[in-house]
Amino acid sequence: MIATLTLNPSLDYFMRLEALNVGRLNRAIETAVRPGGKGINVSRVLKRLGVDSRAFGFIGGFTGDFIRRFLAEEGISAEFTVLEGLTRINVKISADRETELNGAPQPISQEDVERLLSVLGRLNAGDVFVMAGSVPASLPPDIYRRIIEKLPAGVKPVVDTSGRPLAEAIAARPYLIKPNRDELGQLFATDIQTVEETVLYAEKLLDEGVENVIVSLGADGALFMNREAALRASVPQGQIRSTVGSGDSLVAGFLAALEKGMAPAEAFRFGVAAGTATAFSDDLCTAEDVEKIWPRIALSTIREKRH
């Protein structure tokens, strides 16, 4: 089974404008409301790719009820820990450029964390557990590491976050992490400019015990590295409609392909196709979108098996 965790979900209100005029009345030409949060995005894309998952996380209030109902309507199983207060509302504005207004997260107590951990204790060896997104200010920055250390033996942790929460999680030797190039540079307090530098620092993460590393490079594609191989994927040109959820789609596509029995290299190519398909869409990718782009993703080998 694949499970996802979203500590800091949201109700996302999308507005498309002809142009954003700050300080003046703006009228949207198109709106949409969807659940937000990286783990939730992973579950939604997995479902679209024909793979079931179970969504965990914290929700509250009428906005939390909306998230629960929305996922149920999409056929996604969820077991959220309910908090007092309101799940935050984020406003995503698409005009001449993208602008985001993110609401403040709900406070989360240690008792709330313990309730979550008791639920996660039912995961089984072999399950893949995706922890994705930012950490609310009311939680310690090492929360992902603490959760990994409390998981049942044999569960495969996947971490997609940034900054100190990612650095702390790396110490627990997760199965997979997926930073982008900037987030990788932040881990080592450096500005990574080239693919060669990206490879160098990704190798350092393998030395620290991470089993698999995917680094998203935006228009330059992505890298996949473990001790067996190091690969680079190049992406086709196309119109970028929105970058929201692209990295989450990459993770979901990669894990969905592994779940269906693909070899890691082909699963990586499929994941990059999913991330690209989302970038070319107004919403998260569909299976049809991914199937069209998948053959256009080119792989090249950076190095052979690591000794």
For CATH 3.40.1190.20, the residue range(s) in the chain are 1-20+29-128+140-159, 178-307
pLDDT one-digit tens code per residue, 194-224: 989 999 999 999 999 999 999 999 888 999 9
Q: Is the pLDDT confidence value at 307 over 60?
A: no
Which member of 182, 248, 282, 283 is catalytic?
248
Whether 235 shows a pLDDT value over 90: the answer reads no
User: Catalytic site residue 248?
Assistant: yes
Could you read off the pLDDT of 30-81 as tens digits, one per residue? 999 999 999 999 999 999 999 999 999 999 999 999 999 999 999 999 999 9
- Determine the CATH number of domain 1-20+29-128+140-159: 3.40.1190.20
Q: What is the pTM of this model?
A: 0.93
Whole-number mean pLDDT of the chain? 94
Identify the pLDDT of residue 304: 65
178-307 fold = UDP-N-acetylmuramoyl-L-alanine:D-glutamate ligase (3.40.1190)
Residues in a beta bridge with 43: none
